[in-house]
């Protein structure tokens, strides 16, 4: 009996908890035994579920690869990622000025024409994905990180903590996102870092709501109870037990936010709160070139169509993921 226990070692957490509660040692021993038993069972169960999970993951990936919606989205987004990274090696320079050929219509020399400074519109359109593709994913990751932590804490502890956090979240949601970001960026100045942090922070409340409701759905399940009974600390239960079980809603939420982040980043740069010229950013280009809409529509139309394809691509990914996960 004694040996049996030492193989698993006494659980310091559990003993501390027992002392706090003032439980008698016999009771403590019983609970430790129960916890040890649970652990062996869990180990076996873990091996089985790990296999099951791997099988499920393989199934999900195969389903995704066969989803035309998802794959179309992936191809579109990958195209823009590739262009953002390598376009300068393929096309002409996006910032080279050629005043002699300003606002030239599309031709063999310039397939998409040139803008008012004679810059090649094709090169600028291809390089224009860069800022959006830096801002949107990083802002989404920040939002998932912060929102994930807040949602886990609120959903796990419930009660007073939850109430206070959710009321604060309601306040943050009381202002429209574009409006708050305009306010923040006009007062704190613009720049890549600050735009990323602002969008990330403003998306945090929505993410934390999603994560919270997912956590609430999980916290009463047996495996959480088992982890608590064997005396795991709360952060461990949240991060290692609950979190792996709510990855699907978090991934779906992440792709939804990514779509909104592209939308928001492009909108902010259109309104003049993004990077300044000579950046080939689409939103900025559309804002500055739209005065030439009547005489040189190609300067505006190509970046506009490019942005539209990227946004639709991201949303196709979201749609495909949602469809496969909900099956």
Residues binding another protein (CB under 8 A): 167-168, 170-179, 182-188, 259, 263, 266-267, 270-273, 283, 286-287, 290, 293-294, 297, 300-301, 304-305, 307-308, 311-312, 314-315, 319
Cβ closest to another protein, residue 186 vs residue 193: 186
Q: Measured from the CB of residue 211, what is the shortest distance to another protein in angstroms?
A: 18
Q: Measured from the CB of residue 127, what is the shortest distance to another protein in angstroms?
A: 18
- Tell me the sheet residues that pair with 114: 120
The alpha carbon of 232 is separated from its chain's Cα centroid by a whole number of angstroms, namely 29
Gap between the terminal Cα atoms of the chain:
48
Q: Which of 275, 291, 274, 282 is nearest to 309 (CA)?
A: 282
Residue 105 is given by DSSP the state P
Q: Measured from the CB of residue 268, what is the shortest distance to another protein in angstroms?
A: 10
Q: Measured from the CB of residue 97, what is the shortest distance to another protein in angstroms?
A: 24
Cβ closest to another protein, residue 145 vs residue 175: 175
Cβ closest to another protein, residue 51 vs residue 305: 305
**Contacts of 119 by beta carbon, 8 Å cutoff, 6+ apart:** 94, 95, 96, 97, 98
Contact 138, 196 (CB under 8 A): yes
Q: Measured from the CB of residue 110, what is the shortest distance to another protein in angstroms?
A: 19
DSSP for 192-229, written as a single string: HHHHHHHHHHHHHHHHHHHHHHHHHHHTTSHHHHHHHH
Cβ closest to another protein, residue 80 vs residue 156: 80
Cβ closest to another protein, residue 122 vs residue 268: 268
């Amino acid at each position: 009996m004694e040996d049996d226990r030492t193989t698993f070692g006494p659980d310091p957490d559990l003993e501390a908890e027992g002392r706090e509660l003032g439980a008698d040692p016999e009771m403590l021993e019983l609970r430790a035994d129960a916890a040890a038993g649970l652990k062996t069972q869990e180990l076996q169960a873990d091996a089985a579920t790990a296999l099951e999970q791997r099988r499920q993951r393989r199934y999900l990936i195969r389903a995704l690869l066969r989803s035309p919606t998802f794959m179309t989205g992936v191809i579109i987004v990958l195209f823009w990622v590739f262009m953002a990274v390598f376009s300068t090696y393929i096309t002409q320079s996006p910032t080279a000025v050629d005043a002699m050929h300003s606002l030239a219509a599309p031709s063999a020399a310039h397939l998409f024409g040139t803008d008012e400074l004679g810059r090649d519109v094709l090169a600028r359109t291809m390089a224009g994905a860069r800022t959006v593709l830096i801002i949107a994913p990083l802002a989404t990751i920040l939002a998932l990180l912060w929102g994930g932590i807040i949602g886990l804490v609120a959903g796990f502890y419930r009660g007073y903590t939850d109430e206070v956090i959710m009321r604060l979240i309601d306040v943050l949601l009381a202002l429209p996102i574009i409006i708050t970001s305009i306010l923040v960026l006009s007062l704190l100045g613009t720049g890549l870092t600050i735009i990323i942090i602002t969008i990330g922070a403003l998306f945090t409340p929505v993410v934390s709501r999603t994560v919270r409701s997912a956590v609430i759905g999980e916290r009463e399940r047996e495996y959480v109870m088992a982890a608590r009974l064997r005396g795991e600390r709360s952060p461990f239960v949240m991060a290692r037990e609950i979190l792996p079980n709510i990855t699907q809603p978090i991934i779906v939420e992440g792709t939804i936010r990514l779509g909104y982040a592209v939308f928001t980043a492009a909108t902010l740069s259109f309104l003049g709160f993004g990077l300044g010229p000579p950046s080939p950013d689409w939103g900025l280009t559309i804002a500055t070139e739209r005065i030439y809409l009547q005489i040189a529509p190609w300067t505006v139309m190509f970046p506009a169509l490019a942005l539209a394809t990227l946004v639709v691509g991201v949303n196709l990914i979201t749609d495909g993921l949602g469809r496969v996960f909900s099956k």
